[in-house]
Amino acid sequence: MEETELCFPQLNSSCSRVVRPYALTIFLYILLCTINLLTVFLNLLVIISISHYKQLHSPTNLLVLALAVSDFLVAPIMFFQVLLINGCWLLSDLMCSLYTVMDYIITSTSIGIMVLISIDRYVAICDPLHYPTKVTQKRVQVCVFLCWILSALCHILMMKDNLVYPGKYTSCIGECVVVIEYVAGRVDLFLSFIGPITVIIVLYMRVFVVAVSQARAMRSQTVTVTAQGSMGLRAKKSELKAARTLGVVIFMFLICLCPYFCVTLTSQDTLINEYQAAPVLWLFYFNSCLNPIIYIFFYPWFRKCIKLIFTLEILRPGSCDTNVL
């Protein structure tokens, strides 16, 4: 049984602190800190690899880079969750509000980037002839920028009351609580979760159907093909492989994300206690560490980039032109 004591024993208005067995507390600290460090390290490898090597400067990889940046920014947000292991918020009320706003911004931006990845794979698989003209690096950059800007504006406006009057809704000292208006919370739930997830599922179902038919068509082709036909076949296989890899990323993203929004969807009010939401938040944050691990297993170019980084080959002059594909 968990016992409780005050977060600040010298204050009568202090919140209760959760007291767990010492070994369990140490285990949770080590686990979360390890996930945090891995999130920073692995996503930094993805950012360096795609940014440095010119061969990787494609629209699809640019979206992977944008996702890695948002995952990298999850690390400082995760640090605040480490502080909440015992249920006590030790920082100021303003820091609580800022932390929550940044959490919402990064979360919704990651979902927006996942939608862009689904659109990218949909166009690449279902409309390959027009893909080079429809999906360009410039358009991808603009879309990612808009994701960040719109997410920031929406959530700052939605939570402005918590930012202007930090700690307004806390019932005791040592608590991190924010309140969102009911209508605004439901609109945000639709725009940040229900709508994007529906788009992702519909697009990837279509991608899956077309990919299966294309894979069957490629298997039925004769071995003797022209050089041009061979290049086209390799390009098509590359697109299908990218669709499979990013499909795994999206699938794991949905698994890690859904519990948090299910809790939000079934809640009867719009009061969010960061400690009570911690378990589902930890699962979502773990996804930021999981994505680079998926790349290691599915992307040979990422494994090669890691080798070049660790052997310091990346520091050699002209290394940005190295063949990594």
Which residue from 157, 37, 176 is spatially nearest to 94, judged by alpha carbons?
176
Of 256, 295, 305, whose CA–CA distance to 68 is shortest? Answer: 295
More confident residue, 307 or 245: 307
**What's the burial of 117, exposed, middle or buried (CB within 10 Å: 0-12/13-18/19+)?**
buried
Question: Residues 6-23: what's their mean pLDDT?
Answer: 77
pLDDT in tens, 245-291: 777 877 887 888 777 777 666 654 455 555 556 677 777 788 888 88
Q: What is the pLDDT of residue 144?
A: 94
At a CB cut-off of 8 Å and minimum separation 6, what does 53 contact?
Answer: 305, 319, 320, 322, 324
Question: Which band of pLDDT confidence, cut at 50, 70 and 90, is reported for residue 2?
Answer: very low
Per DSSP, 159 falls in state T
pLDDT given for residue 286 in this prediction: 84
Quote the pLDDT of residue 219: 63
As a whole number, mean pLDDT of residues 65-86 equals 84
Q: For the chain, report the end-to-end CA distance as a whole number of angstroms.
A: 55
Would you state the structure tokens that stand for residue 278, as one six-digit string? 């911690």
pLDDT digits (tens, 9 = 90+) for 37-47: 999 999 999 99
Cβ 289 vs Cβ 35: under 8 Å: yes
pLDDT attached to residue 227? 47
Alpha-carbon dihedral angle through residues 147, 153, 158, 161, given to the nearest 10 degrees:
150
User: At how many degrees (to 10) do helices 93-126 and 195-220 cross?
Assistant: 30
What per-residue confidence (pLDDT) applies to 215? Answer: 65
Q: Picking from 89-103, 109-123, 236-250, 298-312, which range would have the lowest pLDDT averaged per residue?
A: 236-250
Name the percent of the chain lying above pLDDT 70. 84
CATH fold label, 3-219+231-319 = Rhopdopsin 7-helix transmembrane proteins (1.20.1070)
Question: According to the model, what pLDDT value does residue 214 have?
Answer: 67
The amino acid at residue 126 is C
* Rounded Cα gap, residues 63 and 256, in angstroms: 20
pLDDT at residue 1 tops 50: no
pLDDT at 3: 47
Global model pTM greater than 0.75 = yes
Average pLDDT taken over every residue of the chain: 80
Structure tokens at 61: 């990889």
C-alpha–C-alpha distance, residues 147 and 295, integer Å: 23
Q: Could you report the per-residue pLDDT of 228-242, keeping only the tens digit for each?
A: 445 445 555 666 666
Region of poorest pLDDT, from 12-16, 99-103, 188-192, 269-273? 269-273
pLDDT tens-place string over residues 144-181? 999 999 999 988 888 888 888 887 778 788 778 887 77
Nearest to 122 by CA among 190, 200, 235: 200
Residue 301 has pLDDT above 90, yes or no: no
Listed residue (156, 268, 257, 246) closest to 197, CA to CA: 257
Alpha-helical runs (H) found in 127-167: 131-134, 137-158, 160-164
What is the average pLDDT across 60-89? 85
| pLDDT over 90, % of the chain | 13
Buried b (16+ CB within 10 A) or exposed e, 59-86: bbbbbbbbbbbbbbbbbebbebbbbbbb
- Write down the pLDDT at residue 282: 79
In this structure, what token pair is assigned to residue 117?
Answer: 């990845």
Q: Look at residue 32 in the predicted model and tell me its pLDDT.
A: 85
* Between 224 and 296, the higher pLDDT residue: 296
Reduce the secondary structure of 189-251 to three states and give it as a string.
Answer: HHHHHHHHHHHHHHHHHHHHHHHHHHHHHHHHCCCCCCHHHHHHHHHHHHHHHHHHHHHHHHH
> What is the C-alpha to C-alpha distance for residues 215 and 238, in angstroms, rounded to an integer?
11
